[in-house]
Structure 1
Amino acid sequence: MREGWKDVKLGELFKIGSSKRIYLSDYVDKGIPFYRSKEIIENYKGEDISNELFITNEKYEIIKDKYGIPNENDIILTSVGTIGIPFIVDKRKFYFKDGNLIWLHCGNSKILDSKYLYYFISSNNGKAKLDSILIGSSQKALTIEGLKKIVINLPPTETQRKIASILSGYDDLIENNLKRIKLLEEMAQQTYEEWFVRMRFPSYETAVFDENGLPEGWEKLKLGDLCEKIFDGTHDSPKQTESGFKLITGKHLQKGKVDFETAYNISEEDHFKIKKRSGLVKNDIMYSNIGTIGNLSMVYEDFEYSCKNMIVFRPKKNFEYFIYTYLFNENTKNKILGEASGSTQKFISLGYIRNYDDIFPTIELISKFNEYCNSIYKSINNLNTQNQRLSEARDILLPRLMMGMIDVSGSSAQLVESLETKPTETKIIPLEQPKKEASKEFKEAVLIACLTERFGSEKFPLGRKRYTKLSYLFHRYSDNKIQDYLRKAAGPYNPKTKYGGPEKIAINNKYIQNWKSDNKLTGFVSAEKIEDAKTYFSNYWQISNLDWLTAEFKFKSNDELELLATVDNSLLELSKKNLEFTSSNVLDIIKSEKEWEAKLERTIFSDANVERAIGFLRGVLEYG
């Protein structure tokens, strides 16, 4: 046995138990979250809770006082159905269902690191040990008494922490990528809503609308009119094999990605049989139509797999991102779900989907939207691919660390560098990028360039008034460094960007260039070395902060940006003075500033707009 490692039963390390019974009559509309196995699994996967349940705060406090509640770093483990999914308790308040979940009171253990136990449970060795103690024939179950008897080969505490830290590094990178994916998806949805729900599509100002309020050229079409074909997955039930090709069903489609980990393999013969009828190609859109209706994912992988229990859309060229975003939209989901048949298990037929019709934009506008979303969805696909490779690298590393095959006495960086199995072809995006020394002016030049790349175009170059508000909001979110922003007439304004060098640096370095559009608009567009600026950006800030700014403010007008920046600056003052965040208090501050007073004569600074701005800002920014 490795030096310092010892075999210990879990029951000797900490208490193992469950929760107090919560009845259906205890559920309420709002209160303390209540988790069943389903919610624990969603937490484990980093997903939003799909079906929120609650108990009252009073019930929670009674349980807390009488019986105790999970402490931070305890582990909740699924014990029926999908068995052995661990969730490390964080700071949030919640309670959980008895019977289906087991509570490991390991958060305060002095000889066991919770994260080490989490990764042990996730390892093949840990899963095998759990499988060996399951009871039941038709429905397997994990028991408290069985768990107590599991023997774990435990290294010294410091070694546990190092192993957990190394593995957590991979999971942190994956989590960061998932956050970026969510922001990008929100950006695509906001664009869809802006163009096709609020009707503010490009050149909408000059569009002709009919008596029904629809733009000229929009018409009722079937979904099939926008696709080369619509078909379903196999109806066969091929046997599971140890190796071969993955069989993906509707349940494996999870909010824009495929859960390959829980899918089983089928033989090469069965795969090619399915492929003849229901073969998938890149940019096909898979759509779950049984049980949970409306989950979808686009095919982008470089490897083949088969599909079952789903509908597949093969969009016409340059329609794929429009159709995907259309199907992803909540309005569409609700329309389709309203026609679902089945009482115990909802179902949407292939025939219904093929004949489903709606009002769709012109081909030209669909193509424009598709072009706009191209970079968004390519980024999402790249991040999903990156996460898949990170997961594979972590899973190869996991058993080697758990078995003591790798010496972790050195630093994590040295260890990962020395490993034979490292993530390949994966550009890792760290959560906290290293901050290299650079002047404030150069950093601001880099920010201006990246704002120009995100918010400017040859048709609508990024003007100074707009980028200064965007840079203010970016700094408020990312580092709160807004000392240089003065209360000038156009709102918080940093004169140093123009006169202190950043604009000149960005232009001289060919990150941006001055531009005048065909419709006489002036501002900045990206220049030939914009990629250099984007590389520098990742040295100073997190890319996810820029994703957030784009998602929240891409379609705000200049007046709206001025309102939000001005109100935010006023709220900061109210916060320092411990005054209420009311529209009257904000307007009093604006009135007290000589260069701001004229704002009050403009409609955008009405009481109602200021009130809405306060509500919006409190949801996206932090105040002391």
Structure 2
Amino acid sequence: MNEIEMQYIKIGDLCNVSSSKRVFARQYVDNGIPFYRQKEVIDKKNGNTIEEPIYISESDYNIFKAKFGVPANGDLLITAVGATLGIPYFVGNEQFYFKDGNLIWLSNFKEKLNSKFLYYWIDSSFGTQTLWNRTIGSAQPALTIDSIKKLSIPVPSKAVQDKISTTLTTFDQIIENNNKRIKLLEQMAENLYKEWFVRFRFPGYEDVEFEEKKPRGWQVVTEDKKHFTATIFKYDEFKNIGSFLRGKNITAAKMVEGDIPVISAGLQPSGYHNEANVFGENLTISASGANAGYLQYHLQDIWAADCSYYQDDAIIWFVYNTLKFLQPVIINLQCGAAQPHVYPKNINKLCVLIPTEELIYKYNDFVKPYYDEIKILNQRNQSLTKQRDMLLPRLMSGKLEV
């Protein structure tokens, strides 16, 4: 194969590198134009639903658009602060604005650069590592606009960029379809939980009596509405059906390279290690920081660090969907002013609905195949992502025909 000719050009010479104008919390509204912070951009990239969307008014958006411009189709955003910096998001045909300071905006690309090609380069392992090598700060690493402007990247001909982008987009389309299927399966499990344990249309409900009960601490979810619950159910502390335990912190310096995700306070793994301290399917709740109380499920071994974890295969999916329904209540467990915390002892005291043991197991057995399929789809996506990331350097080097 012939080696592909490559130039190294600074990103600042290929596009405009900037951020947004300051938006204040007082400008948030109930409905309007979506406003994305770093968290929402990561959710968007991963195809996740934004659980608690933030909006600004259409009039404010139009002012920003007229005076300073807004992200357009084909632009890139790069996360720029903390453990999840260096994650690129390719902007589609959509309207939104974004938070200054923790997102860097790439726009107005010159003809010689395909922005999708740059997206794939940043998203690759060597692209991400290159960005990390240019961070500032130790306690809170960050990327600056100036560091991105001065970063030189390998740039083949436009024709080669276009072909590489088309090839890699094929992988992304398959991954996206798998993610849609995962979301559907998750929604099916959630819908069944609500049908059985919120609307109380569980098997045999026709023969059961109902009475009014008031779950302690549920006002966040229910706005203090009356509850009519099956007499065979009860409200009691979570510790009566299981318990969360505290994880064991590990520093980045002590992590040994491996494929075990380290689950800490963020929305994404804080790193990867060569051994686990929690095995099999499990749940975690972030223990501190801005995301304290965030619930996740994991279908593989993990290292539980700055989080609380739960592990009981027999009823894990009943527990997960119970707590997912109560996610606002769990967030409300945060305590501490400077640094919010959610402790295992408070989770274990949380008031939850406890159906009969038979129904708990019946629900768990019913939805388990959904999560088994999700595990297979996740494994396929991981394999596709590795193949895609391995293709980029080989295509760029000429070892594979573009």
The TM tier, using the shorter chain, reads: 0.7 to 0.9
2 CA distance for matches of 1:160 and 1:37? Answer: 28
Deviation at 1:325, TM superposition (A): 1.4
Where do 1:150-549 residues align within 5 Å?
150-209=151-210, 213-227=228-242, 230-234=244-248, 237=251, 239-244=253-258, 246=260, 248-251=262-265, 254=267, 259-260=268-269, 262-265=270-273, 279-291=277-289, 292-301=291-300, 304-315=301-312, 317=314, 319-329=315-325, 332-408=326-402
Letter in 2 for 1:370: N
Q: Distance in 2 between matches of 1:307 and 1:20?
A: 38
CA contact (8 A) 1:281 1:299 kept: no
The 5 Å alignment of 1:45-64 reads: 45-64=46-65
Q: Which amino acid aligns with 2:88?
A: P
What per-residue deviation string (whole Å, max 9, x for no partner) do you get for residues 358-379 of structure 1? 3411111112212221222212
- Shift of residue 115, structure 1, vs aligned partner: 0.6
Asked if 1 retains the 8 angstrom alpha-carbon contact of 2:279 and 2:302, the reply is no
Shift in alpha-carbon separation, 1:89–1:224, aligned structure 2, 3 A = same
Aligned to 1:43: 44
Q: Is the 8 A contact 2:293 2:334 kept in 1?
A: no
Displacement of 1:200? 0.9
Distance 1:231 1:283 in 2: 15
More strand by share: 2
Work out the CA distance in 2 between the residues paired with 1:15 and 1:298: 39
Gapped regions of structure 2 (runs ≥ 5): 214-227
Structure 2 Cα separation of the partners of residues 392 and 144 of structure 1: 29
CA separation in 2, counterparts of 1:69 and 1:12? 20
Letter in 2 for 1:326: T
On the 8 A contact 1:226/1:315 being kept in 2, the answer is: no
RMSD of equivalent CA atoms:
3.0
- How many residue pairs get matched? 385
Is the 2:7–2:154 Cα contact (8 Å) retained in structure 1? yes
4+ residue runs over 6 A deviation = none
- Give the distance between the partners of 1:202 and 1:300, measured in 2 at CA: 28
Paired residues of 1:77 and 1:87 also in contact (CA < 8 A): yes
**2:382 maps to amino acid:** Q
Contact (CA 8 Å) 1:16, 1:148: kept in 2 or not? yes
Moved more, 232-241 or 79-88: 232-241
User: Within 2, Cα distance between the matches of 1:280 and 1:46?
Assistant: 27
Deviations 1:217-247 (Å, cap 9, x if unpaired)? Answer: 32344433323x6422125658434524635
For residues 259-281 of structure 1, the C-alpha deviation after alignment (integer angstroms, 9 at most, x for no partner) is 45x42336x6xx6xxxxxxx423
Unaligned runs of 5+ in 1: 272-278, 409-624
In proportion to residue count, which structure has more helix? 1
Alpha carbons 2:125, 2:389 under 8 Å: kept: no
Instruction: Name the residue aligned to 2:85.
Output: 83
1:152–1:184 distance in 2 versus 1, CA, 3 Å: same
Please say which structure displays the higher CA radius of gyration.
Answer: 1
Contact 2:3 2:397 in 1 (8 A): no
- 1:378-400 alpha-carbon deviations (Å, 9 max, x no partner): 12222222222222222222332
Question: How has the CA–CA distance of structure 1 residues 240 and 363 changed in structure 2, closer, same or farther, with 3 Å as cutoff?
Answer: same
Cα offsets for 1:272-315 (capped at 9, x unmatched): xxxxxxx42323333334342443344432xx432122222233
In the alignment, which residue of structure 2 is the partner of 1:13?
A: 14
Question: TM-score under structure 2 normalisation?
Answer: 0.83
Q: Highest relative contact order (Cα 8 Å, sep 6+), 1 or 2?
A: 2
SS at match of 1:264: strand
The residue identity in structure 2 corresponding to 1:196 is F
3-state SS of 1:47 partner: coil
Q: Quick one: structure 1 residues 247 and 118, their matched pair in 2 at CA, closer, same or farther if it must change by over 3 Å? A: closer
Match of 1:95 in 2: 97
Classify the secondary structure of the residue corresponding to 2:66: helix
Cα displacement string for residues 573-617 of structure 1 (whole angstroms, at most 9, x for unaligned residues)? xxxxxxxxxxxxxxxxxxxxxxxxxxxxxxxxxxxxxxxxxxxxx
State the 1:201 CA deviation. Answer: 0.9
**TM-score, structure 1 normalization:** 0.56
Matches of 2:150 and 2:251, distance apart in 1: 38
Compute the displacement of 1:160 (Å). Answer: 0.9
The 1:191–1:112 alpha-carbon spacing in structure 2 relative to 1, beyond 3 Å, is same
Shift of 1:23: 4.1
Q: Identity of paired residues, percent?
A: 36
Cα distance change, pair 207–90 in 1 and its aligned pair in 2 (3 A): same
How far residue 119 of structure 1 moved from its aligned partner, in angstroms, is 0.9
